A = this chain, B = another copy of it.
Amino acid sequence: MSTPSLSPPKVLAFDVFGTVVDWHSGIAREVQALRPAVDGDAFALAWRAGYQPAMRRVMSGELGWTLIDDLHRLILDSILPQFGLIDLTEAQKQHLNKAWHRLDPWPDVLAGLRRLKSRHVICTLSNGNIGLLTNMAKRAGLPWDCILSAEVFRAYKPDPAAYLGVARIFDAAPAEVMLVAAHQDDLAAARACGLQTAYIERPAEFGAARPKDISPHPANTRHATDFLALADQLGC
């Protein structure tokens, strides 16, 4: 997978939902804490399934610029009936909506990020809003050098403005930035902008009972089982 001729990246930019944190079990746990009878697995999948379509409504211009917190709430309101949750109070809905701020990292993340940070600038590049990402980092102890978000660029990934924006902020060439993500489509869009790419296997992203395809794609600069393995590959 590796391309030894490339220079080591100056900046590692991390996708967050699925790559850094386990949204599936976090959302399932939070809804079941409110209502034990709800199918947490199905609820998490339904909520997440609304994510890409909601961002497309923003990027198409149908909706004005909207933070992910607000898109999460739109999607939540739309799925509450099918899960028998329309009687939640407004305070309960607001609390549940912020479950995305309280997701736990995968087990390798904290140790992996600390190692990667020793030799690289590490930042987020997430469609999540800055407040969400900050609250998540503070709660989980994620040691980002900087929190970058679609909110800074007013463009959701896979818009090139997001990937190229990271390079611009750090006065770096695109090839000096590596996107780290568990999603091949995100990596492909970054690669089209000239970034290096590292694929991270997160087979349980959609739940342990529903393993996802984690096949290597030869176009990625790196392919690693987790952040510790990426740190090994980068010599951190």
Chain A positions near chain B (C-beta within 8 angstroms): 69, 121, 123, 129-131, 133-135, 137-138, 145-148, 151-152, 169-171
Per CB-CB distance, the 4 closest pairs between chain A and chain B, nearest first, are A134-B146, A131-B170, A130-B169, A146-B147
Contact B145 A137 (CB under 8 A): yes
CB-CB < 8 A to A133: which residues of B?
A: 146
- How far apart are A148's CB and chain B's nearest CB, in angstroms? 8
- How far apart are A213's CB and chain B's nearest CB, in angstroms? 34
| Set B134, B148, B151, B169: member contacting A121, Cβ < 8 A | B134
Specify the main secondary structure of chain A where it touches its partner. Answer: helix
In the assembly, how many copies of this chain are there? 2
CB-CB < 8 A to A145: which residues of B?
A: 134, 137-138
CB-CB < 8 A to A147: which residues of B?
A: 146-147
A135 to B135, CA, bound (A): 22
- How far apart are A152's CB and chain B's nearest CB, in angstroms? 6
A131 to B137, CA, bound (A): 19
Chain B residue at smallest Cβ distance from A171 = B131
Contact B69 A129 (CB under 8 A): no
CB-CB < 8 A to A151: which residues of B?
A: 152, 169
